[in-house]
Amino acid sequence: MFLKRLNYFFLSITILGSIFLVYSWINTYNFKNNPLDEKIVKKVKEKQYYLEKLSYQKFGINRKIPLIISDKMPSKLFGAATYSKNGQISIYLNKKRFKESSEYMINDVLPHEYAHALMFVKGYFTDENGGHSKQWQNICIELEGINCNRFVDHDDVIMGKSIFF
């Protein structure tokens, strides 16, 4: 009798475990194949408008920089600022990274990349410290960025390459 109960017990655990596994698999699948949650997209747009406003107020730059949320970026990159051969400036945010923390993407990564983009707008193309120069840092701070550390080790400034995400 006891053994039988024990069997049921393990059987239930196995079933629950499988259900949980399928559930998390579906969640991951949905995340990969659907656009970001509307609420998050709205927050990104609000932050984008705010950054546009700040760059006008602080630097007199009145320019809408395209912002693309991409799921084709390498996982290690949170975001990037790109300057293409024909002079197009864009900001990319890695969709995969929104899964961990959308707040981090919006309040840390976005102003950081926005500052790189404004460096391009101003015509500063220094590769000093991977684009994390003192000038970049000043702009980042003016944009109320949280992540304006100059000593970061990622390659988020992409110039002149023909392949974009």
What separation in angstroms does the CA of 14 have from each of 4, 25, 27, 28, 87? 15, 16, 20, 21, 57
**6-65 binders of Zn ion (CB under 5 A):** none
Minimum CB distance to Zn ion smaller for 95 or for 156: 156
Q: Which two tokens stand for residue 160?
A: 């002149």
Minimum CB distance to Zn ion smaller for 94 or for 156: 156
Minimum CB distance to Zn ion smaller for 51 or for 156: 156
Spell out, one character per residue from 119 to 158, where the chain touches Zn ion: x when CB under 5 A holds, - when not: -------------------------------------x--
Minimum CB distance to Zn ion smaller for 29 or for 125: 125
CB of 58 to Zn ion, least distance (A): 19
Residue among 129, 134, 122 at smallest CA distance from 157: 129
Q: Which amino acid is at 59?
A: F
User: Which residues here bind Zn ion, judged by CB under 5 A?
Assistant: 156
